[in-house]
């Protein structure tokens, strides 16, 4: 589908106002980044891969732990699927990431499909967390593109953000869990930080920083919430010291063979955009 691929190489205009909003609040939602035809094209392919490859789909949702109930996830799709690779390595998205972070270039940290199943039996929330808890990267210049592959209504569990939460250091030692939901919610409330919890239109994509706290409510609709994510890091960053049990696991999955102090650049971390 050449029109979809062509769009991924066209520039999306980021304004000074966009950059200032992202810097102040730690996230931004941008309209019309992709069109419906492009989203449908990738939705078909990503859904096929997730359905074929994720073993959790065979496990009843009520028998899973909190993390497993939150979403079905599968990463590094770009390495095994040429169609999905076009989206993950898109210059259009990579330049947005670079513009918002105000850096000269970005590399891929990793991609990840996040599918939240509909459920009337359990409240399959995604607890409050900050992504960078998991990442052994010696930088705060990281950003995630959260790409809904369909219109995402409030009852489907869209991503919600705590404004300016990236400026606070509470909760940064907590992985996704019931504990993170309770403790971070309490801290955010005490800090009187505003919550943005709204649906996503077709083609609307959010970008959030690694230390921005976010969550998602349960999917109480009758549709799967299909989302693709691309995580970018500034070109030139190094692997950090391992300070929690998640760091070596993420290193093995997304930075294979590297040690603290090494440049975070392997065959899994191609340069996506450079000025």
Low-confidence ranges of the chain (pLDDT < 70): 1-4, 54-71
Looking at residue 65, what is its pLDDT? 60
Q: How confident is the model over 101-118, as pLDDT tens digits?
A: 999 999 999 999 999 888
**Of 57, 162, 65, nearest in space to 116 by CA:** 57
- pLDDT at residue 273 in the model: 97
Task: Map out the domains of the chain with their CATH numbers.
Answer: 2-256 (2.60.120.620)
**Predicted local distance difference test score (pLDDT) of residue 5:** 73
Contact 232, 205 (CB under 8 A): no
What are the CA-CA distances from residue 197 to residues 15, 117, 157 (Å)? 23, 19, 9
- pLDDT tens column, 7-35: 999 999 999 999 999 999 999 999 999 99
Q: Cα-atom radius of gyration of the chain, to the nearest Å? A: 18
Take residue 272 and report the two structure tokens written for it: 């996506």
pLDDT of residue 66: 56
Q: Do 37 and 4 form a contact (C-beta atoms < 8 A)?
A: yes
**Residue 71 confidence (pLDDT):** 60
pLDDT for the residue numbered 1 = 54
pLDDT for 129: 96
Question: What torsion, rounded to 10 degrees, do the Cα atoms 14, 12, 105, 78 define?
Answer: 140
């Amino acid at each position: 589908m050449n029109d979809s691929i062509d769009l991924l190489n066209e520039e999306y205009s980021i304004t000074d106002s966009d950059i200032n909003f992202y810097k102040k609040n730690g996230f931004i939602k941008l309209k019309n980044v992709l069109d419906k035809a492009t989203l449908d094209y990738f939705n078909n392919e990503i859904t096929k891969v997730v359905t074929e490859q994720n073993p959790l789909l065979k496990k009843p949702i009520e028998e899973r732990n909190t993390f497993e109930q939150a979403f079905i996830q599968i990463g590094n799709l770009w390495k095994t699927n040429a169609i999905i690779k076009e989206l993950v390595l898109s210059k259009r998205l990579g330049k947005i990431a670079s513009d918002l972070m105000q850096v000269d270039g970005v590399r891929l940290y990793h991609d990840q499909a996040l599918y939240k199943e509909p459920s009337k039996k359990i409240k399959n929330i995604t607890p409050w967390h900050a992504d960078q808890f998991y990442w052994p990267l010696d930088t705060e210049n990281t950003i995630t593109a959260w790409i809904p592959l369909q219109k995402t209504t409030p009852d489907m569990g869209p991503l919600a953000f705590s404004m300016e939460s990236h400026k606070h250091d509470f909760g940064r030692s907590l992985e996704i869990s019931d504990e993170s939901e309770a403790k971070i919610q309490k801290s955010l409330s005490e800090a009187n930080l505003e919550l943005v919890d709204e649906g996503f239109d077709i083609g609307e994509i959010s970008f959030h920083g690694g230390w921005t706290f976010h969550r998602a409510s349960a999917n109480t609709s009758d549709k799967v919430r299909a989302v693709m994510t691309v995580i970018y890091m500034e070109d030139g960053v190094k692997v950090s010291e391992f300070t929690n049990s998640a760091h070596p696991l993420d290193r093995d999955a997304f930075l294979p063979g590297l040690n603290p102090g090494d440049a975070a650049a392997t065959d899994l971390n191609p340069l996506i955009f450079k000025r």
